Amino acid sequence: MYALADCNNFFVSCERAFQPQLEGRPVVVLSNNDGCVVARSNEAKAIDIAMGTPFFKLKNLVDAGRLEVRSSNYTLYGDLSHRVMNILREAVPDMEVYSIDEAFLNLDGYPEDQWMPLCRGLVKQVKQWVGLPISIGIAPSKTLGKVANHFAKHYGGYRGVCAVDTPEKRDKALKLTPIDDVWGVGWRGAPKLEALGVHTAWDLVCKPENWVLKHMSITGVRTWKELQGISCIEENDEERRQTICTSRSFADLITDKDELALRISDFAGMCAAKLRKDGSAAGEVAIFLQTNRFRSDLPQYYPFLRMRLETAVNNTTEIVGAALALLDTAWKDGYGYKRAGVIVAETVPADEVQGSLFDSVSQEERDRENRISAIMDKVNSNGRTLLRVATQRPGHYADGIRREHCSPLYSTDWSQLLVVK
């Protein structure tokens, strides 16, 4: 039996945890550079603010005092997520963190009569200790747990916890679940199924397996089985990422090569850190640059260059060096760059890297760079780039990103602690 714990309106709830004046108010959280809406409170949804709405279209609501807005504060969100996950893990050690605001708890081994008291206790504890509301759905499969969680979140009578633990409850829940709310289908897959007469999760379950395989492939068959309470999605041990991309849009156009080199170095360093976290090494590095396509009055340029490495690596020095070499080739004067990014590809397990006879870097030198990168990861584990290569910018990577509505780092910076008068 699984319990899916999901923080409600997570980004907005993190803001409200330290700003109670936002309770009951329409609130939205914006993407990087305050571009568009990436999170909404229930009150914001009620006034028809759609996900992805550009912020400039909402400024009149903000100016009129009808809408509260906050810039993304990922350091704060990450810290509060860590606190929530620690509470869940202490209660149920067999836990899989699925995303920043979701975790699956394996309740096998717990007596059935303890499931509801345990989960209701967690809902109360997370609210008291962290200040965030969470909902928990209990079911024999992960996909059905998502369905149960939806009911726990949207119907107050469940008091934050809904169990779909009998065939009768399952059938009722599936009949009330639109097909686009099913995990694994979503809004992308729903139109095709609706055209075939499948409008609810119950409609899908009623189809024969051969029909599901024909129209939804083997992945759809797994979803079909999961909705019946047959667990067939193992722990989130997904295939190794073949590519990793780090990119940003800039608040202002960048026309200076040295400034752009700092940004490219940052992105490459972040890609290298992600590789090490995954236990991977990359055999290829690529960069892309983009001018502002909405500025028809300016010249446009969209280069994309890649470099195959002699040996797959994940240390910061070599990844950054390759990215900067590509920038030297891609750079052209006379353009204002609005966006740039670094991509590492052709990943392999870091402990299975095959060396090259023609490698220009000695194994001794590479071992040294790998040790330095490991030390950087350890020191920078709090999210700040205290250690970096010389071509990277000092300070936090968020420098240069427009965040005009950002809340303080209430829980991670001594200088920004909440002041109570």
- Kindly list the distances between the CA atom of residue 263 and the CA atoms of 72, 251, 252, 286, in Å, as whole numbers in the listed order: 20, 13, 13, 14
Give the ranges where 196-341 is alpha helix by DSSP (H): 201-205, 209-227, 257-278, 316-330
Residue 356: predicted pLDDT = 63
Q: What is the pLDDT of residues 337-363, one digit of tens each?
A: 999 999 999 888 988 776 665 666 777
**What share of the chain has pLDDT > 90, as a percent?**
70
Q: What is the pLDDT of residues 319-333, one digit of tens each?
A: 999 999 999 999 999
Residue 386: predicted pLDDT = 67
Q: What is the pLDDT of residues 266-311, one digit of tens each?
A: 999 999 999 998 899 999 999 999 999 888 899 999 999 999 998 8
Domains recognised in the chain with CATH numbers: 9-76 (3.40.1170.60), 97-227 (no CATH), 243-382 (3.30.1490.100)
**By the 8 A CB rule, do 262 and 327 touch?**
no
- Report, as an integer, the average pLDDT of 16-42: 93
Residue 397: predicted pLDDT = 47
The pTM (predicted TM-score) of the whole model is: 0.72
Residue 239: predicted pLDDT = 53
Rounded CA gap, 341 and 228, in Å? 43
Residue 401: predicted pLDDT = 64
Q: What is the pLDDT of residues 362-411, one digit of tens each?
A: 777 778 888 888 888 887 776 666 677 877 776 544 445 677 899 998 99
Residue 384: predicted pLDDT = 63
Q: How confident is the model at residue 38 (pLDDT cuts 50, 70, 90)?
A: very high
Structure letter (DSSP) for residue 36: B
Q: How confident is the model at residue 147 (pLDDT cuts 50, 70, 90)?
A: very high
Widest Cα–Cα separation across the chain = 70
Q: How confident is the model at residue 237 (pLDDT cuts 50, 70, 90)?
A: very low
Tokens, residue 404:
């005009």
Rounded CA gap, 248 and 288, in Å? 11
Tokens, residue 32:
């990087």
Average pLDDT score over the chain: 90
Residue 182 makes CB contacts below 8 A (sequence gap 6+) with: 143, 146, 147, 201, 204, 223, 227
Residue 57 makes CB contacts below 8 A (sequence gap 6+) with: none
- Report, as an integer, the average pLDDT of 131-139: 97
- Report, as an integer, the average pLDDT of 23-30: 96
Is 178 or 295 the better-scoring residue by pLDDT? 178
In 3-state terms, what secondary structure has residue 257? helix
